[in-house]
Amino acid sequence: MLNVRTLVLFLSLVGLFSQCKPSSPYSPEQLSSREQHSLLLSSIRYLGHLPKKANHDTKFQPVYDTYYSQLALDYTVEAYFQDDTYEYFLASRIAPSLKVKKSRHRSENSAKCRWPASPLRGSIPYLEV
């Protein structure tokens, strides 16, 4: 009887402590969904494909805003970290294919960037993809 009580106590303690995991410092939940979307919109012109008839000199023209807004919806923020100077993030999208591939077959881009001090990001003074 004592062994059963000890075993039950041990298993309940293991279950309790396994639930007490610290959250990851790279969790994208640090940002609200609006902030994640803003982050993707600000960097999608660097991460995504060029629209038809655009080149790297014209991709920032307002005529392509609709294309890039739609393209940003395909991406998700997988990881995020901010230090005193830079923000680091990992964005991914499902890889293009004839068949929908599982999440391990994702197209991923990582970036290191420095933003202006506005709550919703504007132009990017520094971005390393």
User: 80-84, 96-100, 123-127 — which one is most confidently predicted on average?
Assistant: 80-84
Residue 13 inside a domain? The answer is no
pLDDT tens-digit readout, 1-45:
557 777 666 666 566 555 555 567 888 888 899 999 998 998 898
d(CA 30, CA 97) in angstroms, rounded, equals 31
**Beta carbons of 86 and 112 less than 8 angstroms apart:** yes
Residue 105 inside a domain? The answer is yes
In this prediction the pTM is 0.65
- % of the chain surpassing 90 pLDDT: 23
**pLDDT average, residue stretch 69-84:** 89
pLDDT at 107 over 70: no
Residue 41 inside a domain? The answer is yes
Residue 101 inside a domain? The answer is yes
Q: Which two tokens stand for residue 120?
A: 């919703």
Q: What domain count does the chain have?
A: 1
